[in-house]
Amino acid sequence: MDFAFDNSFHDSMEGFYAPAEAAKPSAPKLLIFNHALAERLGIEVGAAADEQLARIFSGEEAPEGANPLALAYAGHQFGHFSPQLGDGRALLLGELVAPDGARFDVQLKGSGPTPFSRNGDGKAAIGPVLREYLMSEAMAALDVPTTRSLAAVATGDRVQREQAHPGAVLTRIASSHIRVGTFQFFAAHFGVDHVVQLSDYVVRRHFPDLSEAANPHLALLNRVIGLQCDLVARWLGIGFIHGVMNTDNVAVSGETIDYGPCAFMDRFSVNTVFSSIDANGRYAYGRQPQILHWNMARFAEALLPAIHAVDPADVETAKDLVNEIPDRFRAVWHARLRRKLGLGEGTDTAALIDNLFDALEVQGIDFTSFFRALAMLLRGDGSLLERLSSAPDAMAPWIAEWWQHIEREEIGPLEIADAMDAVNPVYIPRNHLVEAALGAAEAGDLAPWLELLEVVRHPYVPRPVWALFAGAAPSEFGPYKTFCGT
């Protein structure tokens, strides 16, 4: 087993973290290891036995070259500022530089308390660990920027939540774990110098092309806004609801991070909320663009002293960047939707798109299947569309409107259908399947979870043997609630 750690954050950002150590698990047992990801990262697994992988990825044995640490951060949680959060149940082992030169954090999640744990135990239960593993790997397969999952290890210990659960540790891979909340922490507690140091580090690590900008901090704001617009547009396009878009859960790299209460919407409704703690629907499906705007305003506030220090006139530009977010987001989102609908850039689709969401909402149509049904219609098969809608005629006016747009395209319907199928998934981690798989895993049977993982890793091409994975939940599944519980 060979790691080539190169720990730039540890080495150059002293004062931005607290050294920490993993707790010793009593009987670590490997649940899964992501060999394809290990290869992409350049980790030489060689002949390492499962027992060794379990020791390393539970925190029992620190790999050579690791400098375990907990990152400091703050964050707005449901709109309220928490000045002191930080890695309370996560431990950054170090950074790897992959063979292609890309740099990644290797982090254990659930490996015991850190200086930032406050009253928490720093542990994680097997359910949320396997949930994050599944969700993040599904998102990667769906072409959404995301943290990845390298390993899940059962610790052999019990974790006390409302009940006692088997404990586990997830190994999370990220371009970095620096969040909007990291900037907020240093802006709130330290001076502009720290914000500048952090911004310079982020630019060097993630966006070296911005280092020559007249004001790199302003350029960073602009870049992160762009990445977040793209990210949230991708979420909306697959019916993903993050569930806890607090500023400490917004990575500046533009990756989806923190798969606590997230879930995919089945029947379309713009107000869909799954998280049990989101009583007011702050993070509902359709509110995610507004929250993105709000979060980027907080990011701008934290960066403002650094932006001002380079050139006071740039503060106005920063305000403009924030004010332009709704228009910028809408452009990105509509471009994505046009691809989902098989339409090119040329035509004005604003009305078509508004009407689509009205029709889907009224009909309560399964969001994922709908776009596949449209492509089938282009191939002359209206059967799926008919099955999705309780009153198929009610969709007819919108279908006619869409068809007019299709007829104006330069390529023919069959080619359009293929292009649509390449961006509209058949398989997503559907709530009823996720719950069933996690229930079995907690009871000791990993097989359904492994099968679901295999399915969601291949989202675009339908397979007859996977027919049961494509449909909406049976009606008896009832309203779905998710929990932050870790």
Residues that bind ligand AMP (CB under 6 A): 85-89, 117, 120-123, 244, 248-249, 258, 260, 484, 486
CB 335: neighbour CB atoms within 10 A?
A: 14
107 binds, among ligand AMP, Mg ion, none (CB under 5 to 8 A by kind): none
Helices (DSSP H) in 238-265: which residue ranges? none
Q: Which two tokens stand for residue 294?
A: 């709000």
- Residue pair 369/470 in contact by the 8 Å Cβ criterion: yes
255 binds, among ligand AMP, Mg ion, none (CB under 5 to 8 A by kind): none
Which amino acid belongs to residue 58? Answer: S
β-partners of residue 94 are 106
Quote the least distance from Cβ 176 to ligand AMP, whole Å. Answer: 16
Q: Candidates 104-112, 135-143, 244-252, 366-374 — which segment interacts with Mg ion by CB under 5 A?
A: 244-252
392 binds, among ligand AMP, Mg ion, none (CB under 5 to 8 A by kind): none
Quote the least distance from Cβ 243 to ligand AMP, whole Å. Answer: 10
Quote the least distance from Cβ 87 to Mg ion, whole Å. Answer: 9
- Residue among 278 and 421 whose Cβ is closer to ligand AMP: 278
Instruction: Using alpha carbons, select from 106, 107, 111, 113 the residue that is nearest to residue 124.
Output: 111
- Residue among 228 and 249 whose Cβ is closer to Mg ion: 249
421 binds, among ligand AMP, Mg ion, none (CB under 5 to 8 A by kind): none
Quote the least distance from Cβ 61 to ligand AMP, whole Å. Answer: 22
Burial (0-12, 13-18, 19+ Cβ within 10 Å), 236: buried
Dihedral over alpha carbons 257, 262, 267, 273 (to 10 degrees): -120
Quote the least distance from Cβ 139 to ligand AMP, whole Å. Answer: 17
Residues in 50-89 that interact with Mg ion by CB under 5 A: none
- Residue among 122 and 289 whose Cβ is closer to ligand AMP: 122
86 binds, among ligand AMP, Mg ion, none (CB under 5 to 8 A by kind): ligand AMP
Query: Given 87, 105, 157, 248, which residue is catalytic?
Result: 248
401 binds, among Mg ion, ligand AMP, none (CB under 5 to 8 A by kind): none
- Residue among 184 and 249 whose Cβ is closer to Mg ion: 249
In the residue annotation, 248 being an active-site residue is answered as yes
Residues 249-288, one symbol each (x = binds Mg ion by CB under 5 A, - = not), give: x--------x------------------------------
Q: Which residue has its beta carbon closest to ligand AMP?
A: 120
CA distance linking residue 153 with residue 38, whole number of Å: 15
Residues 313-342, one symbol each (x = binds Mg ion by CB under 5 A, - = not), give: ------------------------------
DSSP state of 353: H
Instruction: Using alpha carbons, select from 426, 402, 425 the residue that is nearest to residue 413.
Output: 402
Instruction: Using alpha carbons, select from 69, 94, 73, 70 the residue that is nearest to residue 82.
Output: 73
E strand or H helix at 289: helix 288-310
Query: Does residue number 147 form part of the binding site for Mg ion (CB under 5 A)?
Result: no
- Residue among 118 and 387 whose Cβ is closer to Mg ion: 118
* Residue pointed to by tokens 């809608």: 389
Quote the least distance from Cβ 283 to Mg ion, whole Å. Answer: 13
- Residue among 129 and 134 whose Cβ is closer to ligand AMP: 129
87 binds, among Mg ion, ligand AMP, none (CB under 5 to 8 A by kind): ligand AMP
Which amino acid belongs to residue 103? Answer: R
Quote the least distance from Cβ 29 to ligand AMP, whole Å. Answer: 21
CA distance linking residue 417 with residue 407, whole number of Å: 13
- Residue pair 274/241 in contact by the 8 Å Cβ criterion: yes
- Residue among 86 and 459 whose Cβ is closer to ligand AMP: 86
Residues making up the chain, counted from first to last: 486
Q: Which residue has its beta carbon closest to Mg ion?
A: 258
* Residue pointed to by tokens 């929250």: 291
CA distance linking residue 59 with residue 63, whole number of Å: 9
3-state helix, strand, coil in the chain (%, to 5): 45, 15, 40
CA distance linking residue 22 with residue 445, whole number of Å: 27
- Residue pair 38/3 in contact by the 8 Å Cβ criterion: no
Catalytic residue numbers read 248
Residues in contact with Mg ion by CB under 5 A are: 249, 258
